[in-house]
Structure 1
Amino acid sequence: MKLSQIKSILPTLDNVEFQLENGSFVPEHFHVTEVGEVTKKFIDCGGVIRLEKIINFQLWNADDYEHRLKPGKLLSIIELSESKLGIEDAEIEVEYQSTTIGKYDLDFNGTHFLLKNKQTACLAEDQCGIPSQKTKIQLVNLSSQNSCTPGSRCC
């Protein structure tokens, strides 16, 4: 989800709720402790130099159980970040504490925001010899020449 998308969704909501893929919700008393732009310049395993910019939201649970971040307040935090930091309309990544700081993609299901698990990936699969799809073979088509049969002493 891009920053412009969350800005258009927030005015339509009564509450800001985040749900993890396992179905659990971020406690209602969370704080957004950071909004910023993160730039990552790196080289992939194929030797290509890459530049990635994301908008980072950091969620934090405090002992302030009376705190409820309202959509208008989050929108004002985002707008302040845009004006003071000059951040771009980029994809949002959310940091949230689990066993360590987890990083999540952001989505919306019409009611609340979803923290989607991120996956690592090889960005240069063509350079690494990784096939784009595994070849599917049916077991019945395998040759019996290289298989173990009773009494063949291959085991």
Structure 2
Amino acid sequence: MKISEMKQFLPELDAINFRLPNGTYLPPHFHVTEVGLVSKHFIDCGGVERRETVANFQLWEAGDYDHRLAPQKFLSILNLSEKILGSDDLDIEVEYQQDTIGKFGLTFDGKDFQLTPKQTACLAQDACGISDAAFSLPQLQVASCTPGGGCC
């Protein structure tokens, strides 16, 4: 999701809900502790120089159970963050504390914001000799075992 899309959705909402990939909702008392610009300048394993820039939202929860972030307040935070983000319509990445800091993509289903899984990948598969077949899981052979048959 891009910043412009989020700004379009927020005024239509009565409340902001974020849902994790497993379907669990973030507690309604979450905070947006940071809106930032994250730039990554790197070389992939094939030697190609790359750059990525995203708008990063850090979501956090504390014991202040009466806290609720209204959609209008979130929109004002986004407008204020233009000083840092500039006028580019950036993709949004969300950080949320779990066992470690999790990074997620973001979509909207018409009612809730969905945190979507992010995956690592080899960006230079041709240079590394990796084919699409290397990413498919092998078929498991299921043996039929019977009690006392000696196969278990």
Helix, strand or coil at the partner of 1:96: strand
What does the per-residue CA deviation read over 1:95-144, in whole Å, with 9 as the maximum and x for residues that have no partner? 000100000000111110000111101111111111134599xx9xxxxx
CA contact (8 A) 2:39 2:53 kept: yes
Matched, 1:32 2:32: yes
Identity of aligned residues (%): 58
2:144 corresponds in structure 1 to none
Normalised to the residue count of structure 1, the TM-score between the two structures is: 0.84
What does the per-residue CA deviation read over 1:18-60, in whole Å, with 9 as the maximum and x for residues that have no partner? 0011110100000000001110000000000001000000000
1:20 corresponds in structure 2 to 20
List aligned pairs for 1:43-58, cutoff 5 A: 43-58=43-58
Larger Rg: 1
Count of matched residue positions in the alignment of Structure 1 and Structure 2: 136
Give distance in 1, aligned partners of 2:100 and 2:117: 14
Where does the alignment leave 5 or more consecutive residues of structure 1 unmatched? 140-155
Give distance in 2, aligned partners of 1:99 and 1:86: 28
Matched, 1:71 2:71: yes
Helix, strand or coil at the partner of 1:110: coil
1:85 corresponds in structure 2 to 84
RMSD: 1.7
Normalised to the residue count of structure 2, the TM-score between the two structures is: 0.85
Give distance in 2, aligned partners of 1:112 and 1:3: 16
What does the per-residue CA deviation read over 1:73-110, in whole Å, with 9 as the maximum and x for residues that have no partner? 0000000000x214321110000001000000001111
Helix, strand or coil at the partner of 2:81: helix
Give distance in 2, aligned partners of 1:133 and 1:2: 32
Where does the alignment leave 5 or more consecutive residues of structure 2 unmatched? 140-152
